[in-house]
Every structure is written in C-alpha cells, then in structure tokens.
Amino acid sequence: MINLNKKIGRLSKVSAAHAKRLEKLGIRTVSDLIFHFPFRYEDYSKITPISEIQEGEIFTVIGELIDVETKRTWKKKMTITEGFVRDGTETVRVVWFNQYYLQNSLKKGQSIRISGKVASDSKGLFFSSPSWEVASKDTVHTGRMVPIYSETNGITSRWIRWQLNMIFEAGFEIEEPLPDEILEKYNLPEIKKALRYLHFPKTEDEYLVAQKRFAFEEMFLVQIKSIQIKNEYKRENAVSFKLDKADEKEFTEKLPFKLTGAQQRSIQEILGDLKKTHPMNRLLNGDVGSGKTVVAATSAYAVSKSKHQTVIMAPTEVLSRQHFESFCELFQDQDINIGLLTNSYKLITWDLQLRAAPDRLFKKTSRENFLEKIKNGELDIIIGTHAVIQKDIEFANLSLVIVDEQHRFGVNQRAYLQQRVTEINDGIEKKIPHFLTMTATPIPRTLSMAFFGNLDISLLDEMPKNRKEIVTQIVTQKDRDSVYSFVKQEIKKGRQAFVILPLIEESKALKELKAAVTEHERLSKNIFPELKLGLIHGKMKSQEKEDIMKDFNDKKYDILVSTSVIEVGIDVPNSTIIIIEDAYRFGLSQLHQFRGRVGRGTHQSYCFLFSKTKTERLRVLERYTDGFKIAKKDLEIRGPGEFFGSRQSGLPDSAMKNITNIKLIKFSHNEAEKLLESDPKLKGHPLLSDALKRFEEKVHLE
C-alpha cells in the first residue's frame, strides 16, 4: 500500500533526475501524480489484422516480431530502429526514431502489441514511432483507451502510465470528500473508481463520467468558498451612505451625455449597496465603451458627499493617469479634491479653475506631503496603481475601494487586493470599505457565477446612444495598399491611427510576424514618410509609455505603432483607425478590446484586421459589435482556457474545461448553498472541509 503523501522521488523506480523533472509539472508527491490528469485519449482498443491497415489512420495490431535492427545515421545524427511484425494475415514494417534503448528491449520472436499511426514511403506502409508492449502483459500503452498527459523533457506519457500502473497495482487509500447523497443524486463515481476510470478507462464512457465527477467536485468547492466569502463579507461592518436624490439628479444632469438605462440601473444597484451597513462586494461587468467610469464616479460622489474617502486602483500608470483626468473633468464644478499616486506621479487638484483648465496643469507634490493629505482627509478621491494601498498609507476615513480592470492584476494580486481592503488602515474602527470591481471583458452572467460567485453583479450591456458603430473589415495582402491610402486621407482630415503588432522583436518560432520595432521603421520609411509615427511596447519603462501616450493624445504623432500594451483602457477620442496586424493570432475578445481603442469620439471609426485569409472566426468581428455576443462566440471557438486565460482564472483545470457547462455550475451552486445553510462551517463534513483547505492552497479565488 502506497502513502499518497510520499515524496515522488522516494518511489523505487523514480530517480532523483526524474523527481526534479516532475517538479516542472507540479508533481512532488504520489498524490500529485495520480491527480495529473490526461488531457486527451487515443483509442487503441480495437485490434486490426495487418492486412486491413491503411495510411494516415491509427491502428492497433498484434503479431510476432520477426526481425529488428538499430542503425545510426551519421548525416542526420539519429538512430533508427526498424523491425517487422507478422500476424498471419500480413507483415508490416515498424520504425522508431531516436529510441536507442529499444535495441535492448525488443527481442526477435517476441509477440508484441503495437498502436500508432500508419504512414507510407517508397517501401510501402509502416508504423511510425508507435507505442508498443509485450502482448502477454496487461494493456497499458496499447490495445486500450490510452491517456496522453502533459509532458516535460525526460518525462513522457509512456513513463507516466508506467508509474501510475505500478501505483494502482500496489494500491493506496484515499478518502471521499463528496457527500454520499450528492454522488448518488448525480450518479457520480466515488473518487478511487473515478481515478481508475481516468487513467485506465476501458471505454470512452468511463473517462467521461470520471471527468464529470472531478469537474463537479472542483466547481462545488469553488462555489462553497465563494458563498463562504460572501457570507463573511455580510458579517463585516461598513459605513452606510445615502445619496440625496436631489444631489444625485444634480450630478447626473450636469454630465455632458445622457446615461443609458444599463448605467442608471447599475448606479441604483450600487447606491443600494452603499446604504447597507455591511460592505458592498460587487462586480461591474461591461463592454468596451459602455460607460463604467461614470458609474464608478457616481459611486465615489455618493461617498465624497459625506466627506469620506474613495480609492480607485488601475493596473497601470497609463490607466491611472487617464482615470485621474476623467474624474477631474467629471468633478470640475464639485468641491471634491482628487489626487493621483503612482511611482511616477504625485499630483493633486485643489481649486476648480485649475481642474477645469484646458491645458490640464496639475500641482505636483512630494510623496510625504501626499500621504499627509490622505491621512488628514484633505483628499476625497485617491487614484493610482496598487501603490495606493501600501502598508505605510493611513487614511482618514476610507470607505470605498474601486478596482478597475481587475482581471489584469493576476490571480495572486487579486486575492491580495481584496485581503488588503479588509486590513487597510482606513481610519474607521471596526469597519471595512465597500468594494467595487470593474472589468471590460464581457462575461456572460451565468459564467460570472463560476468566476465571481462571491460578488453581486451589475451588467452594462447597453452602449451610449451617440456612439457610431465601428466599421470592421478583414484585409488580405492584396488590399493593404488601399487601406494605407485610406489612412492617409483620414489623417489629412485631422484624425489619428493605431497599428497593433503581436510581438516586440523577431523570434525564430514566429518569423512571419512583423515585430513592432521593425514595422515602425518600415511604415515610417516606406509607407508614411510624410507622417509622424510613435512607437510603444511593453519593454519600455512606465514613464516612457506615459510620455508617448501623452504626445499621441496631444497629436504630436499621427500614427502610434504598438504591441498589445494598449489593449485596455487607453482613450484617445481623436483616433479613428486601428490596424491589427496578424489578427488571426489574437482571440476574438482581445481583438474586440483593441477595437475599443477607437470609436470613442464623434467621428466615424474603422478597424482593419490584417490577416492572411478571411477566416470564419474573424468574420464574427465583422458581423458583431456587441462584446457579450463576441465573448460567447470566443468561448465556443477557442474554449474557456484561452478566453479567460487558465493561469489568470484561478480555477483548476477540470472546472476550467467545463466552465461552459451551465448545468454543472448551477447544480454545484445549488448544492453548495443547500449544504452551507445546514452546515456553514462544514463541521459535519470533515473530509469535505479538508478537501476545501487543500483546494484553497492551490487555487486563489476572488
């Protein structure tokens, strides 16, 4: 019997070198190995006579190895092992490349089982580097549904299957975390059986039901943790704010635009939360250009009217500066003081005339002076990067924290941010600030339950009425010149343009991609020699990027060549054209984010998707401008891992792969709610409680 907590390097057949390599796959214990699940399966279960095999397909055959020889080719510096297998119907050649050890493993006269793809050359049909094993042994690598695992240098799927086979033969004990009634209700296999089904399935049905079981378990744990966090927040205390209807009306009526129905609804939901004596924990989920900033500003206004403080955090200095300028504009006739705190900026506004000045001159100050003004309550709204919640900052009465583009912060940072909000020195004893997060990646409401189950959700699914729809067009090589001519015409009218590149510098793997630096030079010299072109990319320092964006905003450049650093939040209303090179390299949702950099002013805007071919995927962007519809299509086409970014999501693999299974999410959510109603601390479910602790160590939730 093997102890699952045993270090993987202490297994008899695992060398120190293997143990080190396994660490790259996150495998340190026996438990880690048995929970290293296959990502696909090859069906080698059907035995075919050699006389019936065909080129280009996968087959399994059994026969006698009648000849075998290993040769080294000096020209290509590789070894080739060639054998012949006969089964009574025909003989077939088998070729393995660079598997020198086979000369000691394969013996003439052996009866062997072979599974793999059939190829052909001038000598006829042959198996190319197939899996094989002695026919008298149990099927592990051939003759069954064979699992394929994530691998690393020196660790193959064959090696993993060999180890797992020995572990299952030796036996192990593992406790079942899911309650019996849930297993029975949803017809799910118990954990040990599910693990065998995953690693050694006899049929497709076996591994599918095992995948369903682990996906349910992981989503169930996600929902339990989310509901617990939500309930904990409800037990905390916060300052209650009630915005007078007259003040609210006065503020919204002075805005330079009319609020959409979705904005009005979201504002009321947030103001409703701010009235409560427990902290708000809400996500504002909106499309590019749907007007999240003004919703956030109204929330900050409600708090500022009571002379309490608001913090607004963005992931970059560029976005922080932009929010600062937007808020100064929205509050230009309000007696509300605003400050910007990043590594590069310590800016404050005092008098209304200064704030409304067309040249936007703000007062610079020292960090010490800035922190003093926060502590004294002289600053009502503090905007910045996560620098605004450092431990040395003391607030007078911080009561609202707004995090923008929070999906860009990364899983660990998000967990840290929310934790810091509860621990922050807010100047108010026994109370924590209200918490509002915003994202510009449209996430369908049902999926939000999986990702943000502990948050209440406000949806901005309506665009401002005065926005002109962006004309989007896929452009192949032959039409490039006409697009360049069109760009020149628009710039003559006073407009500006973005050109987006997916990489900074040439790489061997992606030679065909134009690097931003190279493309900037080519466009400057050959295409637009009479125009002024700027360049911005992720390897530049923050201050450099800030300066370039400011110069672009001030029309010192006609065209800005950029990598994906400008994906989110950059607002240059005079920009009406965006060209995206090698558009097929990006996901639909990311392309939609890029497209949102234009169409922010009163002029007609255009998005040109440069691509080798007009793919059906890119045509989605020509057809739709609604981010929620595009997100749905992106999920269908690319799958959830690519759409959300598996590493960023905070969800484990099995749950991630099943994220579009709405029934699974709803069932797991309902069961979690029901369980926590009767057993909020999981005292009656100790094994489930232990599983949740282990789960929390590996996964960070919002």
| pLDDT at position 320 | 87
d(CA 480, CA 183) in angstroms, rounded, equals: 59
Burial of 401: CB neighbours in 10 Å, binned 0-12, 13-18, 19+: buried
CA distances from 172 to 5, 191, 195, 559 (A): 11, 12, 11, 64
Q: Which two tokens stand for residue 444?
A: 């369908």
Q: Are the beta carbons of 316 and 490 closer than 8 angstroms?
A: no
Same domain flag for 310 and 413: yes
CA distances from 99 to 64, 96, 107, 119, 451 (A): 20, 6, 15, 18, 45
In terms of domains, do 422 and 489 share one?
A: no
Q: Within this chain, do residues 265 and 320 fall inside the same structural domain, yes or no?
A: yes
CB under 8 Å to 259, separation ≥6 — which residues? Answer: 252, 267, 291, 294
Q: What percent of the chain has pLDDT over 90?
A: 49
Q: Are residues 407 and 520 in the same domain?
A: no
Strands (E), 240-397: 281-286, 309-313, 338-341, 346-348, 363-364, 381-384
pLDDT score recorded for residue 512: 39
Q: What is the pLDDT of residue 559?
A: 96
Alpha helices (H) in 200-260, listed in sequence order: 204-235, 245-253
DSSP H helices, 376-479, are 411-423, 445-451
Number of domains forming the structure of the chain: 3
Q: Per the structure block, which two tokens stand in for 504?
A: 């900074």
Residues 492 and 602 in one domain: yes
Beta bridge partners of 124: 121
Q: So what's the pLDDT on residue 656? A: 61
> Would 136 be classed as within a structural domain?
yes
C-alpha 595/C-alpha 580 separation (Å) is: 9
| Same-domain pairing of 395 and 484 | no
The pLDDT value recorded for residue 411 is 43
Task: Indicate whether 672 belongs to any domain.
Answer: no
Q: How far apart are CA 336 and CA 352, in angstroms?
A: 9
578 found inside a domain:
yes
Q: 547 in a domain, yes or no?
A: yes
Instruction: Give me the pLDDT at residue 175, please.
Output: 93
The CATH number of the domain where 525 resides is what?
3.40.50.300
CB-based burial label for 246 (10 Å; 0-12, 13-18, 19+): exposed
In this structure, the answer to whether residues 504 and 594 fall within a common structural domain is: yes
Q: In which order are the strands placed within the sheet that holds 471-475?
A: 471-475, 606-610, 575-580, 496-500, 559-562, 533-536
How many distinct helices (H) and strands (E) make up the chain?
26, 23
Distance in angstroms (rounded) separating the CA atoms of residues 473 and 470: 10
Calpha distance 112→106 (Å, rounded)? 9
Q: 322 lies in which domain range?
A: 245-275+290-439
Model pLDDT, residue 637: 75
Q: What is the CATH number of the domain that holds 90?
A: 2.40.50.140
Q: What is the CA radius of gyration of the chain?
A: 30
Any domain includes 356: yes
Of 624, 657, 678, the domain-final residue: 624
426 within domain boundaries: yes
Q: Choose among 162, 158, 194: nearest CA to 176.
A: 194
Task: For residues 477 and 434, state if they share a domain.
Answer: no
Count how many residues are written for the chain. Answer: 702
Q: Which of 279, 424, 313, 416 is nearest to 700 (CA)?
A: 416
The segments of the chain whose pLDDT lies below 50 read 409-412, 504-506, 508-513, 567, 646-649, 702
Q: Within 125-203, where are the H helices?
A: 157-170, 180-185, 191-199
CA nearest to 265, candidates 499, 461, 421, 425? 461
> Are 429 and 475 members of one domain?
no
419 and 488 in one domain?
A: no
Contact 684, 244 (CB under 8 A): no
pLDDT of the residue at 420: 65
Residue 460, domain member (yes or no)? no
pLDDT of residue 226: 85
Q: What is the pTM of this model?
A: 0.73
Residue 508, pLDDT score: 41
Query: DSSP assignment, residue 140?
Result: S
Shared-domain flag, residues 352 and 487: no
Give the number of other CB atoms < 10 A from CB of residue 620: 20
How many C-alpha atoms does 630 have within 13 Å on its Cβ side?
26
Within a domain: residue 230? no
Buried b (16+ CB within 10 A) or exposed e, 59-95: bbbbbbbeebebeeeeeeeebbbebbbebeeeebbbb
Taken in order 249, 351, 311, 386, the sign of the CA dihedral is positive
Q: What is the pLDDT of residue 640?
A: 59
Partners of residue 134 on adjacent β-strands: 112
Residues 377 and 476 in one domain: no
Among 595, 624, 653, give the residue marking a domain's end. 624
Of the three residues 439, 463, 497, the one that is the final residue of a domain is 439
